Structure 1
Amino acid sequence: MEGGTRSSSRRKRTKKRKRGRESPPRSASDASPDDTYFFPILMACCCNLDPPCCRRMVDRLLRSHLAFVRAGGRSGALPPGLLSLLPLLLNQKRSRDVAVLAAEMVGAMALCSLESNEEIVSDGATVRALVAALGNRSTAVATAACNAILDLSAAPLAREQLRKSLAVEKLLSVLHQVVNKPASDGGSYHFKMAATMEGGLLPSSFLEAAVVLINTCNNDFLESIPGEATREFLLLAKELWLGCRRVQRGSVSPSRQDLAETIFRLSMNQDGFTSCPPDLLRTCIFGREESGFENFILAHWENSPVLLRSGSGDDDAISNCCDFSSGSMDAALESILRGSVSCPPVSSDELDILSFLEEARGSLGVDLRYGQDIRVVRTQELDSGCKGEVHFFGKLSGLTSVDDSALTGDHVLKCRKAVEDGYTVALRGLEFRSKGIAELCDGMAALFGQPSVGANIYLTPPGSQGLSRHYDDHCVFVYQLLGMKRWVVSPRSTPLLPRLYEPLGSSFCSESGGGHGEAMEFFLRQGDILYIPRGCPHEAFTPATNDPESQLGMSTFSLHLTLGIEVEPPFEWEGFAHVALHCWSENQREEEHRPVDSAAMTLSSLVVNLLHVAIGLIGDRNPIFRKACMVLSASLHSSGGRNPSSVFNLASIFGNMIACIDAQSDFSEALEKTEDAVSRKDGLFLHRLRWLRLLLPRERRPAGRFDFDDLLEAFDELLPLTRGQIGPVEAMFAETKRKFCRFAAFEDARRSFELLQRGYRKTRSQYTNGMLALHSGST
């Protein structure tokens, strides 16, 4: 019995062992990524993927891991060892499914947590393998890799690493191989791209990935993208952009705005236009004689209106830059409105184009904004008996207010009806919409030594007046493109020139008349140019159809272009004085070698900046300080060997300004104004000096230096130094003023002035290039 019992017991144990051996091994689906079995099995299978059973096992393991991650099973770091296998899995050529699963795994883990995302992109081999997979001939693999890149791109560090790994260049290369086929589906735009890959269609994620990486990069990276790759992609992007606008007329989707920003970014550093030679413009406007431009500057510039030329010829540089229809009024209207989008305003002292793009995000590529881009207006008798402006679209449903309302395609069509009813269509920012006008404006800016020139166009029907009597805060050259117009211009009522961006006051313009002297009347015909100085009230009329003036073979409607010479605060003569003071004070600082945080240096900073305030106060009442500084005028470099500085009295003007500063700058007035502004938190008074920060950008500004970015706070910190020692501070102010007025150097100021303007011109050029790209090929 005992033997039988032992035998039975052995059989039971054997049976149990057999059951243990017969139980199947843990399946891949049962293996958690945290399981010690997961990585060894995966690595063993990856060593030799030739056997189908190994490929199936890898497939099962990856699917298991992917399901685990997507179910929220992992929110921390990656499982040990997995990262080292990702490059091998992504580059897998024997099994397309394995490569797809590996890419999907990367995307899923990237979205788990910021820690996982950063751990993935810290591995250069994985990122490079992912980028390489974008060019896989399998659309499934390439698409999975692209989707993983989009998932990674949720984190700033990942975007930076992807750009360093040439992801943008790879995406642009792949996109260049495709033919775009835009289509509309239920009002939303889809990008369908037929690619030279297995699988047929390349999805829109490729475009989206390129857009995300480009729209979040810095300017250095944009400039590093190979020019050929940029140009090729821009051709595709612009075609998609035009198709997007055709099918989404009147509405804007995020994809349209993002694509517009991408086109802007890639175009802003391209050579979108070539400046019209200033000498050619000088000859065209002021005649072939060298003295023509000089006589204009001495007799009329910023002083009195003048009709500069009559008729047109083959050498008409302005006409050659204009590409507007010379046919019917409808054709002219179509040519100026066709394809126009809104041009968001740029802050006058913004020299970082990427800061503008950040502020303008979501507003690039949108429809024209009423009041900002376009006005449809006429002047007529009002119920009060006075003349005033009436806006056509103020009567239409769909525009809740006259200003800043979207002008949809339907409203653009109604502009034709408005013109028939006697309204003028005024379109602003033409230099951002037409390459020819951009070239013209850039040449005019160089001729007058300013950073930029603005252009507007006005279409007025017969027998009508568009804008009411007004004055501008900038000088205007009116070029009559078509038809004719009668202008009435009055003299300024004050010797002070109005300043750009200051509120337009009533002292310059009234219903009864202008300033001292009779109003002047001018009849402009096609090809004529009229100069109107800033501050001179003016109004314009088109003759009625039955008017004798209209029976001269001219078009009965009028189309004219205005070129506005906008003198911004840094580029007035007051601005030049501020630059001269900055240069002198910086030289003094270097010579004295004082520590930045020393008490003497702090007090010196207060005194110098109070002198800046005093110069600004002189500019409030001295006409010379408000005039345009033409130190950088291109005409100074083409004067036929003569001394151009003496022709334009530059040295004399500078000397007179220094004498004025010496005689008129008042410590008590400057201190009182500054204390009042600080106590009332009134930033408007000091805001006009804010541009001085551009002379010493923050990244090059030592710690403790006066902060022109926040003038109120900077003065608030320094003003306590005057308490109890007004006398010594005033004496220091007087000595600082004396030294500056004695040792201020014109050439030092001119060099800094040129560097400052170069920064302004670069930013304006970038903006113009970007907007021209959004208008190119408009239909």
Structure 2
Amino acid sequence: MADMGAPLKTTAVTMEGRKGRKRWRSHLHHHLSDARNPNILFSLTLAAVSKPSNPSLEPLIKQCLRKFVEFLSSASEPFLNPVLSLLPVLLRSECNQIACAAARIAGAMALVSIEANERIASESEILRGLVVKIVRSENKAVKKAMCNAVLDVSTTSFGRQRLIELSCLDYLMLGFHQLQKSLTSLLSVSIIEREGNPYLGVASSQDELPLLLLASVVTLTNSCNAGQLERIPKILVVALLIFLKQIWSAVREQLLAFRLLNSSEARYCHLSNFSAYNLAESIFRLSMDASALVCPRQSEIVIRDIFGSQQSSFMNFMSGHWESSPLLMTELSSDSDVLHDIFSSFMLCATCDEILPRFLSSTLRGMVSCPPIELNEIDTLSFLCDVRGMLGCPVRYQQDIRVVRTNLHSKSEEHYFREGSCRPLSIDDMLECEVAYREGYTIALRGMQFHFKSIGAISQEVASLFGQPAVSANLYVTPPNSQGLACHFDDHCVFVCQLYGIKEWAVFPQPVVQLPRLYEHVEVPKDLREGRQILLRAGDVLYIPRGFAHEAHTVTGVDANSRHDGFSVHLTLAIEVEPPFLWEGFAHVALHRWGHDHSFGSGSSWSLQANSVSILHLAIHLISDDVLLFRKACLVAASSLPSETKDWLDMNQRTIFNELVKKIDELASFEDSLEFLQLALQRNEDPFHWLRWLEHLNWGRGCARDNWHSDGNCRILTFIYQQKEDAKAAFADVKSKFCSEVLFDHAKETFGKLYALYKQARMQYLNGMLSLHC
């Protein structure tokens, strides 16, 4: 009997337990229906989630979460604390509906206020819970809810930075990579105009998840600093860039065609919160430090194809013509179609059949605008902030392209597009370029190194040869019997590389300006002496130093056997010497390093010595206006040199430096510097604006950095007038010691650090722009 009774007892207990749980759930539902107090709601939710093994409580939890959302519209600070403590548990729920509801609560809380956003962004467990669920959940609704919550947290800079610090971007990239099959929907992305900007969207019939993930990735990528970008695993970056570039290709076509949907058409789209320009910025950022984007060219090949095959040709050029006189370098061949090896990759993209004129429109269609980076800018991310809202737009007239011809009677330039400068070109405009070409206009394209990897590699190698951070490349396509640019001179040295056809150049014998600085503008006089006539054939290279006036036009009938007779295509490699890389810049670096080594800043003589260093910087700048040597390019950082040139160039640079020091000792004037400082302050100008680049170096105690602002300049002037004789004597003492003690090798070491900063920034810019074209 006992054995028969045991099961009956067990059944009775089970039934009683079920009745108890039923009464407990009924009790919770009763309180829930009457919940007016958030604390009661929290208690009910906590009680429900404390029994995770009971799936019958899921409907109750869902009701609680819906109530939470209602309370959020009027949430107060005390209410946020209990909710925050629940969210990590709720986000881990195996019930998809509960996880979605928790994500919606997290997102809603992040939008309540800036303070609430900071509170939720401070909870690492919540943020990680959101992004981990994106990767691990198989449910699309859950992934969407988590993405939306991440985007809500990302509405503040604090929220974005917290997500980045917790490596949430890595999870988002991984989640994006998991959706390979779904990503095809983004290739048919629509561009929707909103508030004047082109936003991305997909048709409402398509899956929204890839767009949400893309929005999350783009938002956080564009908020990373340099260190954070470097910490992203390379394998994720490479995989992501493949997809981003595919999407960008579809987006770019629509931007070029101006195919933008209006608000009424956008009703049938899932609209993102990021624009086409934000997408371009992400591609740029992720590509900046790509090591294999530009494959370096061998310096021997570059030197051979530009300077000639003789072993001593480069050194002869450096000693006899560099920055002093024009030079024609020619390698005649029995083959009239001979091509430079270094340009062969580019020229395969532009075969002669396409050049006239199909190559023009096809090339322009594949190009995006390349806004120029400012002089002395070495923070690429700062540059991106300046051009945000325009990066990736179609090429702009005057900035990226000019369509111009010279009136042979008036000798003045005429532009085919006369309306508005720096406006983006449409597809119709690009087709008009073909018409303009047939009417005798030259098509001049700037920044070809940003559009073709092969030219980018050549530009980098030439830059290394001359110790400069970068070299630019411009392409000129000129029709028969035509002249593009009027007679002019450049503020940079150029190597004119003739690719196709023949062009006749006139280079005038005396420079209009002796070694002009960048952006130094002087009108070319009309009474120039007769120029030297030079016929440039395919394969020839013409070197023209900065300051020498020149002009060129196409000719016909010179080579009847050539199928390229009449028109011309040439590429110019422009060596634009930025201020730090003139010899004046090296002198400033040498003074900076010398002051640092002498540890100015301690003792009673600090003000006299530090101010004397600042005044000596002014004096060097004034000398450079009159002494040509200071305006020559400094080649101390030159690399990739032929072996026979290295030692010669090093001795040459040391000799020049010694000459500079002598000039500083002879000509640096306290009175002239004081007058310059006075006049600048009277005009409310910064007397040291031309030297701001020196701040890129690590400052030691040897430079009066704090003096280099308006208040500091006034203090210098006041101090000098109060102790003029002492200040004058201190200046003479500092100048004498500097000129006798300065060491070339110390200055070279510091100069190398500065060069590396500029080189890295210019390389990042090159990589970013190339990535938008590949």
TM-score, normalised on structure 1?
0.88
Residue in 2 aligned with 1:19? none
Q: Tell me how far 1:721 sits from its aligned partner.
A: 0.5
Residue in 1 aligned with 2:161? 160
Q: Is the 8 A contact 1:573 1:626 kept in 2?
A: yes
| Aligned residue identity for 1:467 | L
Number of residue-to-residue matches in the alignment: 719
Change (3 A) 1:335 1:409: closer
Q: 1:543-597 CA distances to partner (integer Å, 9 max, x unpaired)?
A: 14xx4456644343111100001111111111111111111111112xx6x43xx
Q: 1:489-516 CA distances to partner (integer Å, 9 max, x unpaired)?
A: 00234672111122x112xx222215xx
Q: Tell me how far 1:599 sits from its aligned partner.
A: 5.4
SS of equivalent to 1:607: helix
Q: Is 1:645 aligned to 2:650, yes or no?
A: yes
CA distance in 1, matches of 2:498, 2:114: 61
Of 655, 659, 677, the match for 1:674: 677
Of 46, 53, 58, the match for 2:61: 58
SS of equivalent to 1:345: coil
Query: What pairs up with 1:93-492 in 2 under 5 angstroms?
Result: 93=94, 95-135=95-135, 136-177=137-178, 178=180, 179-181=183-185, 182-183=187-188, 190=200, 202-251=209-258, 255-271=275-291, 272-311=293-332, 316-320=341-345, 322=347, 323-328=349-354, 329-381=356-408, 386-394=410-418, 399=419, 401=420, 403-492=421-510
Q: 1:135-182 CA distances to partner (integer Å, 9 max, x unpaired)?
A: 211110111011001000112222122123322111111211223223
Q: 1:359-407 CA distances to partner (integer Å, 9 max, x unpaired)?
A: 11111001111111110010004xxx6310111011xxxx4x2x21121
Q: Tell me how far 1:624 sits from its aligned partner.
A: 1.0
Q: Is the 8 A contact 1:311 1:526 kept in 2?
A: no
Q: Is 1:28 aligned to 2:32, yes or no?
A: yes
SS of equivalent to 2:184: strand
SS of equivalent to 1:534: coil
Q: 1:700-747 CA distances to partner (integer Å, 9 max, x unpaired)?
A: 567994248x54443223211011322211111111111111011010
CA distance in 2, matches of 1:185, 1:753: 49
Q: Is the 8 A contact 1:103 1:148 kept in 2?
A: yes
Residue in 1 aligned with 2:264? none
Which shows bigger deviation, 228-237 or 721-730? 721-730
Q: Is the 8 A contact 2:595 2:702 kept in 1?
A: no
Residue in 1 aligned with 2:696? 694
CA distance in 1, matches of 2:702, 2:324: 45
| Aligned residue identity for 1:303 | S
Residue in 1 aligned with 2:663? 660
Change (3 A) 1:634 1:603: same
Q: 1:504-535 CA distances to partner (integer Å, 9 max, x unpaired)?
A: 112xx222215xxx521111111111101100
CA distance in 2, matches of 1:99, 1:609: 64
CA distance in 2, matches of 1:52, 1:355: 53
Q: Is 1:505 aligned to 2:505, yes or no?
A: no
Change (3 A) 1:357 1:201: closer
Residue in 2 aligned with 1:706? 705
Change (3 A) 1:768 1:115: same
CA distance in 1, matches of 2:88, 2:103: 10
CA distance in 2, matches of 1:703, 1:641: 32
Q: Tell me how far 1:603 sits from its aligned partner.
A: 2.4
SS of equivalent to 1:134: helix
Q: Is the 8 A contact 1:480 1:524 kept in 2?
A: yes
Which shows bigger deviation, 278-287 or 186-195? 186-195
CA distance in 2, matches of 1:498, 1:523: 26
* Aligned-residue RMSD, C-alpha: 2.6
Residue in 2 aligned with 1:4? none
Residue in 1 aligned with 2:271? none
Q: 1:75-123 CA distances to partner (integer Å, 9 max, x unpaired)?
A: 5354443222211111111x21111100000000111112222222222
CA distance in 2, matches of 1:242, 1:304: 45
Residue in 1 aligned with 2:263? none
Residue in 1 aligned with 2:534? 522
Q: Is 1:769 aligned to 2:773, yes or no?
A: no
SS of equivalent to 2:275: helix
Residue in 2 aligned with 1:68? 71
Residue in 2 aligned with 1:744? 742
Of 540, 547, 563, the match for 2:552: 540
Query: What pairs up with 1:518-667 in 2 under 5 angstroms?
Result: 518-544=530-556, 547-549=557-559, 552-589=562-599, 594-595=601-602, 600-634=605-639, 636=641, 638-639=643-644, 643-646=648-651, 649-667=652-670
CA distance in 2, matches of 1:434, 1:731: 57
SS of equivalent to 2:372: coil
Change (3 A) 1:548 1:288: closer
Q: Is the 8 A contact 1:319 1:481 kept in 2?
A: no
Q: Tell me how far 1:682 sits from its aligned partner.
A: 2.7
Change (3 A) 1:209 1:552: closer
Q: Tell me how far 1:640 sits from its aligned partner.
A: 7.4
CA distance in 2, matches of 1:295, 1:167: 57
Q: Is the 8 A contact 1:477 1:529 kept in 2?
A: yes
Change (3 A) 1:335 1:712: farther
| Aligned residue identity for 2:351 | S
Change (3 A) 1:552 1:51: closer
Q: 1:623-644 CA distances to partner (integer Å, 9 max, x unpaired)?
A: 1111111122225572278554
Q: Tell me how far 1:184 sits from its aligned partner.
A: 5.5
Task: Provide structure 1 residue ranges, at least 5 long, that are not aligned to the other structure.
Answer: 1-21
Q: Is the 8 A contact 1:273 1:435 kept in 2?
A: yes
CA distance in 1, matches of 2:362, 2:712: 51
CA distance in 1, matches of 2:461, 2:315: 17
Change (3 A) 1:640 1:336: same
CA distance in 2, matches of 1:361, 1:462: 40
CA distance in 2, matches of 1:90, 1:641: 64
Q: Tell me how far 1:480 sits from its aligned partner.
A: 0.7
Q: Is the 8 A contact 1:431 1:454 kept in 2?
A: yes
Q: Is the 8 A contact 1:325 1:331 kept in 2?
A: no
CA distance in 2, matches of 1:659, 1:704: 22
SS of equivalent to 1:405: coil
SS of equivalent to 2:352: coil
Q: 1:748-778 CA distances to partner (integer Å, 9 max, x unpaired)?
A: 11111111111000000001100001011xx
SS of equivalent to 1:204: helix
